[in-house]
Amino acid sequence: MSQETKQASSNGKYRVLGTRPVRHDGADKVTGKAIYTADVKAASMANGFVLRSPHAHARIKSIDTSAAEALDGVLAVMTAEDLPDVTDKIADLGEGSVNLAHLSNNVLAQDKVLYRGHAVAAVAAVNVHIAEEAANLIKVEYETLPSVTWVLDAMKDDAPLLHENLYTSSGGEKADTASNVGVHLNFQQGDLQKGFEEADAVVEREFKMATVHQGYIEPHAVVVDWNHDGRIKVWASTQGSFTCRQQTAEVLQVPLSHVTVVPCEIGGGFGGKIAIYLEPLAAVLSRKSGRPVQIVMRRNDVFEATGPTPGAFVRVKLGATKDGKLTAGEAWLAYESGAYPGGMLGPGCMCVFSCYDIPNALVDGYEVCLNKPHIKAYRAPGATQAAFATESVMDELAEKLGIDILEFQQKNAAKEGTRRVDGPVYPKVGLVECLDAAATSDHWNSTLEGPHRGRGIASGFWFGCGLKSSVVASVNSDGTINLTEGSTDIGGTRTSIAMQMAEVLGLDAQDINPRVVDTDNIGYTDVTGGSRTTFATGMAAYEAGLDLQRQMTERAAELWDCNSEDIQIESGNFVSSSQTATFKELATELFKAGEPLVGRATVAPDCSTNGFGTHIVDVEVDMDTGKVKILRYTVIQDAGKAIHPSYVEGQLQGGAVQGIGWALNEEYFFDDDGEMRNASFLDYRMPTAYDLPMIDTIIVEAENPDHPYGVRGVGETPIIPPPAAIANAICHATGVRMEELPMSPPRLWKAIQQNQDGN
Amino acid sequence: MAIVFIPSQLRSLTKGIEQVQLDVRNVRQVIEQLEDRFPGVRERLCDGDDLSPAIQVCVGQNISTRGMFTKIEADHEVHFLPAIGGG
């Protein structure tokens, strides 16, 4: 096990940042006292159950709920007729947007079901067993329609059409005829033909990637109480309480102020718990039954009805000179968006060449509807698929040129001033530092011996964003602080945010008591997603600390009979020519002397945090079975400034493990009828601790100039490189260049056999 | 003057022009001036009075959440990019 930090500039600057205090929610989490949504029990609470479509594509001809309503113990039954009509309005959700008609339709199907598992009706009863029994008494008459579950098939002219009113948008221009292709994107840079003419070597390959799920441990769950006064209280497992509130209010067509969302502890989200699924159902059932209603998804419902990340087809062509300089790149991407338009094509196209300085490039991308659940984000959405293709071709091109792959990456690495193919120029970024750290790492410099063993390396990039955050800091009479915030804590952010306030005020992390509160008790805060929370909500905590210092300086001047300009802040202490006080000492005095102290801050930083990472992996391949064993794995990533290194390491390790699962095993298996045949954790094979070695980490700290402490987002980048790094390692172990994910034993075994047969 | 990059899929409206220099202080003025010079651009980039939800704007080196209100300084680059949702 090896975890190390390579600091570029912040050594010894901080008292709290960079330390590893015990997390504020640690005791509750390890003793089982933390409250998750399924733990919420309201008085007279009913249980809900959702009836889902057995067909991948069908028209709903009729729904008869009479038998369900007549069953003893049933309190309410609903169909799409109980939801208000929502127009084709686009709602801005901060990070991304949603078509409300599609959202409402996904919550409960109206005239058509678009995937197996699509919700059709819902029941509330005195217990979940009666609710399930009643749901099964609902008679739905379907007219089944042909379905399609592979992206290239769905693009064909004769493919089953999901939406008769979907016209391809190319830069805002709509096509004349309806199709499953919702969006066409195109980026161009330089002169592509000239770039390839200048190349001494060119490699082009096509890659296929299966649909995978985020695989969070906690299923979607919700409790809703629609009170008689029209106020709706929602307890939810959500990455964003305000986003949840907005979607719920929009689908139900009620004012935002009538909805309160209480974010419970969350057992993983990874982008899959931003959209709502159950909230409007539980709300309507609550209104109809007069009771709070709880709905908890079963695991198969989570797989079949919530957002997987897109399967994709990507073709990448790269050219370089014999001295290893990239001259041209061309990419063609087709990404699934699932049952509705609106997916992850944009970032896929923007990330496909984002790690390298490529002067001449062309990217074409297509986003395609098909009969699967509506696609949702999954840690750096769209980037992993793109990187699998580009980083595989980079490895092959280096091999063709006879250049060491790491040297090839270093020679072409994006850095400050590099223009991405989609246009923007990078500010200060840390890919070069990551590659340098890889070059000097123990892993890269170690010897790998033995048959059928290989080493691979790959890099990845994710934007990271700022968005909106609010915090309030109430100072207690002893100088400790109650910090309220709106960011759901998924990866230890309570503590990483509190540490930034502690640092600015000269306090210890444990002097701050952070609490994630409901939407009535804090200002608007965007989702915990986009690698933004430690960056942006941490920035808000820093700003709230400065707000407190401003207030305290003014009031200290009155106490100390001096001008506020004569008081300086030094390491969190208040210093005048004749007096010095720590934060706690001054806070205690000011509490006695007058009004309570409350600091506040709201931020909306306009910037990307630009996170780069590089992964190294050693594998051993069983040539008889195609099973891949991970022998050693190292994640190197630029964190800007690691506020709490343990949490950064946790993000790097967690992302890498999910990427390893994506690389080697995870996929949705559909039969010819569009039914997922492996909708359980028994059959949907995610890696466990038994499958993996300790994931080593190297944290690089190339400070982000857009954050007071240099923080970059870290949560998403680590899922990007694993499939490509592992594919490259497999190639070096076996001579087989894999072009399809997952590289599962049967698929790899077949490729090995074909390679040995000379096919 | 700010340098406004024309997305490749809108260059049919600009007769192939890839970038223009504009004297503007915010994104709203960019849209207005582009529409004056290249009719049809507004419809492709906007939804009513706002930027299309499918579009985000990058000013300088920063992706902005302020849409039409995003401030622009002389020598800034302006790019119109696809909107992104994260995980």
What is d(CA A252, CA B70) in angstroms, rounded to the nearest whole number? 32
* Residues A272-301 as b or e (16 or more Cβ within 10 Å = b): bbbbbbbbbbbbbbbbbbebbbbbbbbebb
User: A463 and B65 in contact by Cβ < 8 A?
Assistant: no
Distances (CA, A) of A415 to A342, A702, A755: 31, 12, 38
Report pLDDT for A94.
66
Asked whether the whole model's pTM tops 0.90, one would answer yes
A217 domain residue, yes or no? no
The answer to whether A425 contacts B77, with C-beta atoms less than 8 Å apart, is yes
Distance (Å, whole) CA A426 – CA A704: 12
> Does any domain span residue B14?
yes
Shared domain check, A473 and A545: yes
SS3 string of B14-71? Answer: CCCCCEEEECCCEHHHHHHHHHHHCCCHHHHHEECCEECCCEEEEECCEEECCHHHCE
**Quick one: pLDDT band at residue A89, thresholds 50, 70, 90?**
confident
pLDDT tens, residue by residue, A92-135? 776 677 889 999 999 999 999 999 999 999 999 999 999 999 99
Residue A9 is predicted with a pLDDT of 44
Task: Kindly give the pairing relationship between strand A46-52 and strand A293-296.
Answer: parallel
User: Above 80 in pLDDT, residue A6?
Assistant: no
Q: Give the CA distances from residue A282 to residues A91, A112, A276, A377, in Å, rounded to whole numbers and listed in that order.
A: 22, 22, 11, 24
What would the pLDDT profile of B48-86 be if each residue is shown by its tens digit?
A: 999 998 999 999 988 898 999 999 999 999 999 998 875
Residue B9 lies in a domain: yes
Contacts with B30 (C-beta within 8 Å, 6 or more apart), sequence order: B2, B4, B22, B24, B72, B78
Structure confidence at residue A199 (pLDDT): 98
SS3 content of chain A, % helix, strand, coil (to 5): 30, 30, 40
User: Do A622 and A750 lie in a common domain?
Assistant: yes
Of the pLDDT bands very low, low, confident and very high (cuts 50, 70, 90), residue A758 is confident
Q: Looking at residue A149, what is its pLDDT?
A: 96
Residues A703 and A723 in one domain: yes
Mean pLDDT along residues A395-411 = 98
How remote is the C-alpha of A716 from its chain's centroid? 6
% of chain A at pLDDT higher than 90: 94
Chain B CB contacts of A347 below 8 Å? 82, 84
* CA neighbor of A535 nearest in space, from A647, A381, A659: A647
Instruction: Judge whether residue A87 has pLDDT over 80.
Output: no
CA B52 vs. chain centroid, Å, equals 11
**Tokens (6 digits) for A588:** 């205690």
pLDDT at residue A137, as a whole number: 98
- Mutation pick from B61, B71, B75 vs chain A, by most beta carbons of A within 10 Å, is B61
- Do A618 and A742 sit in the same domain of this protein? yes
Measured between beta carbons, the chain A residues lying within 8 angstroms of B61 are 424-427, 607-608
Asked if A505 and A612 sit in the same domain, the reply is no
CA-to-CA dists, residue A426 to A384, A410, A415, A717, B56, angstroms: 20, 16, 7, 16, 17
Q: How many interchain CB pairs under 8 A, A with B?
A: 128
In this predicted model, what pLDDT tens digit does every residue of A558-581 receive, in sequence order? 999 999 999 999 999 999 999 999
ipTM over 0.90: yes
**Contacts of residue B81 in chain A, CB cutoff 8 Å?**
346, 350, 422-424
Query: Which of these, B39, B36, B55, lies nearest to B47 by C-alpha position?
Result: B55
Q: Does A34 touch chain B (CB under 8 A)?
A: no
Q: How far A493 CA sits from the closest chain B CA (Å)?
A: 15
Residue that is last in its domain, among A539, A572, A596: A596
* A167: Cβ contacts below 8 Å, ≥ 6 apart: A174, A175, A176, A177, A178, A179
Nearest to A6 by CA among A532, A604, A433: A433
Count Cβ atoms within 10 A of the Cβ of residue A327 and give its class: 0-12 exposed, 13-18 middle, 19 or more buried.
Answer: buried
Coil vs helix vs strand at A313: strand
pLDDT digits (tens, 9 = 90+) for A725-756: 999 999 999 999 999 999 999 999 999 999 99
Which chain A residues are within 8 Å of B53, Cβ to Cβ?
Answer: 90, 92, 97
- Residue A478 shares a structural domain with residue A454: no
* CATH assignment of the domain containing B32: 3.10.20.30
* A462 vs B: CB within 8 A: yes
- State whether residue A422 sits within 8 Å of chain B by CB: yes
Chain B CB contacts of A89 under 8 Å are none
- Judge: B81–A423 Cβ closer than 8 Å, yes or no: yes
Query: How far apart are the C-alpha atoms of A163 and A166, rounded to whole Å?
Result: 5
Cα–Cα distance, A552 to A507 (Å, whole number): 15
**A606, A651, A707, A712, best to mutate vs chain B, most B CBs in 10 Å:** A606
C-alpha dihedral (A633, A639, A641, A643), degrees to nearest 10: -70
Mean pLDDT of chain A, nearest integer? 96
Rounded to the nearest angstrom, the minimum Cα separation between B78 and chain A is: 8
- Cβ separation A532–B86 shorter than 8 A: yes
In a domain, B72, yes or no: yes
Q: Cβ neighbours of residue A656 under 8 Å, at least 6 residues apart?
A: A615, A633, A635, A695, A718, A719, A722
Which residues are B80's β-sheet partners?
B57
Q: How far is CA A165 from the centre of its chain?
A: 30
Q: Is A608's CB within 8 Å of B8's CB?
A: no
* Closest residue by Cα to residue A339 from A366, A302, A306: A306
Q: Could you tell me if residue B53 is inside a domain? A: yes
Residue A479, domain CATH: 3.30.365.10
Set of chain B residues whose Cβ sits within 8 Å of the Cβ of A96: 83-86
Q: Are residues A526 and A654 in the same domain?
A: no
- In this complex, is the C-beta atom of A215 within 8 Å of any C-beta atom belonging to chain B? no
DSSP B80: E
Q: Which residue of B has its CA nearest to A92?
A: B53
B-chain residue closest to A271, CA distance: B87
**Three-class SS state of A189:** strand
Q: Within an 8 Å CB–CB cutoff, is residue A425 touching chain B? A: yes
> For tokens 């000269």, what's the residue?
A506
Whether A278 has a pLDDT exceeding 80, the answer reads yes
Residue B74 is part of which domain span? Answer: 2-82
Instruction: Kindly report the backbone phi and psi dihedral angles of residue A613, in degrees, each rounded to the nearest multiple of 5, phi listed first.
Output: -150, 155
Residues of B in contact with A169 (CB under 8 A): 54
Q: Domain count of chain B?
A: 1
Residue A183 forms beta bridges with which residues? A169, A367
Q: Are A560 and A699 part of one and the same domain?
A: no
Chain B CB contacts of A490 under 8 Å are none
Query: Is the same domain home to A455 and A551?
Result: no
Question: Contact at 8 Å (CB) between A457 and A632?
Answer: no
Please judge whether B65 and A346 are an interchain contact, meaning their C-beta atoms are less than 8 angstroms apart. Answer: no
Residue-level pLDDT at A607: 85
The answer on pLDDT for A7 being more than 60 is: no
Fill in the DSSP letter of residue A228: T
Give the span between the Cα atoms of A312 and A210, in whole angstroms.
Answer: 7
Show which of A572, A596, A620 is a domain's final residue: A596
Taking an 8 Å cut-off on Cβ atoms, the answer to whether A346 and B45 are in contact is no
- Distances in whole angstroms, Cα of residue A17 to Cα of each of A6, A21, A146, A275, A709: 15, 10, 57, 33, 9
CB contact at 8 A, B9 and A171: yes
User: Which one of A90, A349, A423 has the shortest CB-CB distance to B5?
Assistant: A423
Contact residues, chain B, for A374 at CB < 8 Å: none
The whole-angstrom distance between B29's CA and the closest CA on chain A is: 19
- Using a CB–CB cut-off of 8 Å, the residues of B that contact A are 5, 7-10, 43-45, 47, 52-55, 58-59, 61-66, 70, 77, 79, 81-87
- The region, left, alpha or beta by phi > 0 then psi within -120 to 50, assigned to residue A110 is alpha
pLDDT score of A11 more than 70:
no
- The CA-to-CA distance between both ends of chain B, in Å, stands at 36
- Cβ of A378 under 8 Å from any chain B Cβ? yes
What was the pLDDT predicted at A8? 46
Phi and psi angles of residue A468, each rounded to the nearest 5 degrees, phi first: -105, 135
Q: Is the pLDDT of residue A145 over 80?
A: yes
d(CA A32, CA A38): 13
CB atoms within 10 A of CB A446: 12
Least CB-CB distance to B87: which of A173, A346, A381? A381
* A138: amino acid identity, one letter: I
First to last CA, chain A: 41
**Which residues form the domain of A730?**
1-13+428-464+608-759
Beta-bridge mates of residue A498: none
Does residue A87 belong to the interface with chain B, where contact is any CB pair within 8 Å?
A: no
Check whether A507 has a pLDDT greater than 90.
yes
Angle between helix A279-289 and A100-107 (nearest 10): 60
Domain-embedded: residue B87: no
Residue of B3, B6, B9, B11 to mutate, testing the A interface (most A Cβ within 10 Å of its Cβ) = B9
Collapsing DSSP states into helix, strand and coil, what is residue A117?
coil
B58 is a domain residue: yes
| DSSP letter for each residue of A572-595 | TEEE-SS-EE-HHHHHHHHHHHSS
Residue A525: which of A579, A449, A601 has the closest Cα? A601
Last residue of some domain: A566, A596, A626?
Answer: A596
Side-chain-side CA neighbours of residue A359 (13 Å): 13
Give yes or no: residues A590 and A693 share one domain.
Answer: no
Q: What average pLDDT does this structure show over A713-727?
A: 97
Per-residue pLDDT, averaged over A59-75, amounts to 98
By C-alpha distance, the chain A residue nearest B77 is A424
In this predicted structure, what is the pLDDT of residue B87? 64
Domain shared by A758 and A623, yes or no: yes
Question: Coil, helix or strand for A516?
Answer: strand
Contacts of A608 in chain B (CB under 8 A): 61-63
Residue A366 pairs in a beta bridge with: A184, A334
Residues 315-374 on A with a CB inside 8 Å of B are: 344-347, 349-350
In a domain, A246, yes or no: no
Nearest CA-CA distance, residue B15 and chain A, Å: 15
Peptide bond into A742 cis (omega under 30): yes
Please compute the mean of the pLDDT values over residues A21-42 and round it to a whole number.
96
How does DSSP assign A10-63, residue by residue? -TT--SSTT--PPPTTHHHHHHT-S-BGGG---TT-EEEEEEE-SSSSEEEEEE
- Residue B13 placed within a domain: yes
Residue A286 lies in a domain: no
Q: How many CB atoms lie within 10 A of CB A373?
A: 26
* A chain contacts of residue B55, beta-carbon cutoff 8 Å: 172
Total structural domains within chain A: 2
Question: Both A613 and A657 in a single domain?
Answer: yes
Mean pLDDT of A17-22: 97
From B7, B47, B65, residue closest to A467, measured CB to CB: B65
Average the pLDDT over A665-678 and give the result. 93
For residue A96, the model assigns a pLDDT of 73
How far apart are alpha carbons A207 and A178 in whole angstroms? 27
Cβ within 8 Å, pair B85-A381: yes
